[in-house]
């Protein structure tokens, strides 16, 4: 039992409950006070998660509270390397988003912070849950605050964008819930203990055991996959993301790109791939193609954007494609790369959105064409934005380099699929081909990032940028913190990987085992004998 866990999840909700009672006055001093309270609270939250990450049981802490035992629902929290890492990332970005709010959010602060803390509490709940019902509850709970945050403080088309976000996510949740209930059905039909019907360990063991009929494994995997494909997002379910990112206020864009997309990646890794490795490897060819499309297609779209925020939003989708590729690799390196990119993209995209946000705050325009020569007017923004763009395109010694290189390497040495069966024809395209083609994404990334920097920061100072000032104090420390992290973790990625290495290795080993078993079965099928006893036998395989 670890009492830090319920504190970490409960604290944001507690803070959210306090804010509505604070002063609603909109004068400068009250607002300053409210911002400070929020900042203080989020720093406390960061300290709590930091304490968890540094404690000796960072990888093993659990907290169990019997909630609705008759229904098999427990208030069960726990950590492993991945959960802890993402929890720390969440609370860190919360501090930075609160910092960014100081200069961007001016109206209805108590409501704003109340919603923001509910949002963060539910995201932490998602990452730390060890009960599938609880996970689903937090996964849904995050919707309404996000909806109100975008539609109240967002840009001109905010209501449309917010509604689109909610409906898309809820559409995904339909399949998530169907899969959860389906899994519970099998748990019940094998007479597993009903008191822990929804616990991760029990359902995970059942799913991995292979006792579920293959067809249903496939269906359950597809259910989880669709749900998290909306969240990640994966083409063609990605269209909510550019709208939501563009219309959301700067701090919310930071959180959306920084942590909310990671909920999708986390779910895919934990429930999709880890629980149904056999189904995952069966579908790996198609998911691999989706990853390639994600990387290259959205990367190309990013190239032609005229709106700065939209460009970064599409680049986010493109980077999420690398996570998907790393997962499809289904080996230890790939799994580690996936988690690494979750963190690196979280930091880099948050910084990019804030950089653009500082310009938008002053020029009230996101059009690239209206900006120019910003480097002369705002050198700090320029340097940090340049650094982040370089990090985003994967420059060595900056944080993304390790992640993306690992992802490509992991996919390249992977054996997850050797051809793409399309029913009547089998395309001889293996994952190495897909990886090679996906590497184009790096080139595209360099192109759109550098071109964006060139168009905004260089050249003559445009009319809109004449009165531009450099970043405000709060933006300076937020961007500064992110820059330091991007450089330090770029030089020494072990600092980060050591946090989750053992967890991803365990998952990766399970993947590799599944692939080895598949290849052995194939070998048996081809040679017609079983290596154990050497006796020729007819194997009960289909299609012979």
- Tell me which residues touch other proteins (CB under 8 A): 20, 67-71, 111, 133, 137-138, 140-141, 143-144, 147-148, 151-152, 159, 163, 166-167, 170-171, 173-175, 177-178, 181-182, 184-185, 188
Query: How distant, in Å, are the alpha carbons of 367, 379, 390, 404, 443 from that of 446?
Result: 20, 22, 8, 13, 5
Question: Collapsing DSSP states into helix, strand and coil, what is residue 125?
Answer: helix
CA distance 529 to 321: 40
The answer to whether 45 and 8 have CB atoms below 8 angstroms apart is: yes
User: Shortest Cβ distance from residue 50 to other proteins (Å)?
Assistant: 28
Helices (H), 330-363: 332-363
CA distance 319 to 331: 19
Of the pair 164, 270, the CB lying nearest other proteins is at 164
Query: How distant, in Å, are the alpha carbons of 5, 76, 90 from that of 63?
Result: 7, 6, 20
CA distance 476 to 380: 8
User: Shortest Cβ distance from residue 339 to other proteins (Å)?
Assistant: 27
Of the pair 182, 459, the CB lying nearest other proteins is at 182
In this structure, the number of other CB atoms found within 10 A of the CB of residue 76 comes to: 25
Of the pair 155, 480, the CB lying nearest other proteins is at 155
User: Shortest Cβ distance from residue 174 to other proteins (Å)?
Assistant: 4
User: Shortest Cβ distance from residue 475 to other proteins (Å)?
Assistant: 26
Of the pair 14, 54, the CB lying nearest other proteins is at 14
CA distance 316 to 301: 12
Of the pair 34, 269, the CB lying nearest other proteins is at 34
Query: For residue 75, what are the β-bridge partners?
Result: 65
- Extract the tokens encoding 410: 């992991």
User: Shortest Cβ distance from residue 11 to other proteins (Å)?
Assistant: 17
Of the pair 247, 512, the CB lying nearest other proteins is at 247
- Extract the tokens encoding 461: 């100072």
Of the pair 177, 446, the CB lying nearest other proteins is at 177
CA atoms within 13 A on the CB side of 163: 4
Of the pair 70, 425, the CB lying nearest other proteins is at 70
Of the pair 186, 511, the CB lying nearest other proteins is at 186
CA distance 379 to 348: 19
In our burial notation (b when 16+ CB lie closer than 10 A, e otherwise), range 140-175 reads bbbbebbbbbbbbbbbeebeebbbbbbebbeebbeb
User: Shortest Cβ distance from residue 166 to other proteins (Å)?
Assistant: 7
Of the pair 186, 417, the CB lying nearest other proteins is at 186
Question: Collapsing DSSP states into helix, strand and coil, what is residue 77?
Answer: strand
DSSP state of 237: S
User: Shortest Cβ distance from residue 356 to other proteins (Å)?
Assistant: 24
User: Shortest Cβ distance from residue 70 to other proteins (Å)?
Assistant: 6
CA atoms within 13 A on the CB side of 470: 14
Contacts of 527 (CB under 8 A, 6+ apart): none
User: Shortest Cβ distance from residue 517 to other proteins (Å)?
Assistant: 27
User: Shortest Cβ distance from residue 271 to other proteins (Å)?
Assistant: 17
């Amino acid at each position: 039992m670890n009492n830090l866990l319920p504190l970490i999840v409960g604290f944001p909700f507690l803070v959210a409950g306090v804010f509505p009672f604070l002063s609603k006055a909109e004068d400068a001093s009250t607002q300053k006070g409210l911002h400070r309270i929020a900042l203080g609270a989020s720093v406390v939250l960061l300290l709590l998660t930091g304490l968890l990450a540094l404690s000796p049981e960072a990888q093993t802490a659990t907290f169990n509270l019997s909630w609705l035992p008759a229904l098999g629902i427990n208030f069960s929290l726990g950590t492993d390397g991945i959960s802890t890492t993402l929890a720390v990332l969440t609370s860190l970005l919360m501090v930075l988003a609160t910092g960014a709010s100081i200069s961007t959010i001016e109206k209805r602060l108590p409501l704003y912070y109340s919603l923001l803390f509910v949002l963060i509490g539910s995201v932490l709940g998602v990452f730390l849950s060890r009960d599938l019902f609880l996970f689903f509850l937090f996964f849904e709970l995050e919707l309404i605050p996000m909806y109100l945050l975008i539609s109240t403080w967002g840009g001109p088309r905010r209501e449309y964008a917010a509604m689109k976000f909610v409906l898309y996510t809820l559409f995904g949740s339909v399949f998530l819930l169907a899969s959860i209930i389906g899994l519970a059905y099998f748990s019940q039909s094998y007479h597993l203990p009903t008191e822990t019907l929804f616990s991760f360990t029990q359902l995970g063991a059942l799913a991995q055991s292979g006792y579920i009929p293959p067809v249903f494994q496939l269906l359950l995997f597809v259910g989880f996959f669709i749900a998290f494909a909306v969240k990640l997002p994966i083409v063609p379910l990605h269209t909510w993301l550019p709208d939501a990112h563009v219309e959301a206020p700067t701090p919310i864009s930071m959180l959306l790109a920084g942590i909310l997309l990671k909920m999708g990646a986390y779910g895919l890794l934990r429930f999709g791939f880890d629980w149904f490795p056999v189904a995952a490897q069966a579908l790996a060819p198609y998911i691999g193609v989706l990853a390639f499309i994600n990387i290259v297609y959205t990367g190309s779209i990013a190239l032609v954007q005229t709106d700065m925020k939209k460009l970064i939003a599409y680049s986010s989708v493109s980077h999420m494609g690398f996570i998907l590729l790393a997962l499809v690799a289904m080996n230890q390196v790939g799994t580690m790369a996936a988690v690494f990119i979750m963190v690196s993209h979280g930091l880099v995209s948050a910084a990019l959105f804030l950089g653009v946000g500082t310009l938008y705050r002053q020029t009230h325009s996101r059009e690239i064409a209206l900006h120019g020569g910003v480097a002369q007017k705002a050198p700090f923004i320029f340097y940090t934005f340049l650094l982040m763009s370089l990090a985003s395109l994967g420059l060595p010694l900056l944080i993304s380099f390790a992640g993306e290189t690992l992802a490509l390497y992991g996919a390249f040495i992977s054996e997850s699929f050797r051809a793409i069966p399309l029913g009547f024809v089998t395309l001889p395209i293996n994952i190495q081909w897909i990886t090679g083609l996906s590497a184009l994404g790096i080139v595209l990334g360099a192109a759109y990032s550098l071109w964006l920097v060139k168009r905004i920061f260089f050249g003559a100072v445009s009319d809109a940028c004449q009165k531009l000032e450099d970043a405000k104090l709060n933006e300076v420390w937020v961007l500064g913190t992110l820059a330091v992290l991007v450089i330090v973790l770029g030089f020494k990625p072990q600092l980060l990987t050591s946090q989750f290495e053992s967890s991803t290795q365990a998952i990766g080993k399970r993947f590799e085992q599944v692939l080895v078993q598949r290849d052995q079965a194939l070998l048996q099928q081809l040679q017609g004998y079983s290596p154990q006893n050497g006796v020729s036998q007819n194997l009960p395989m289909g299609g012979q």
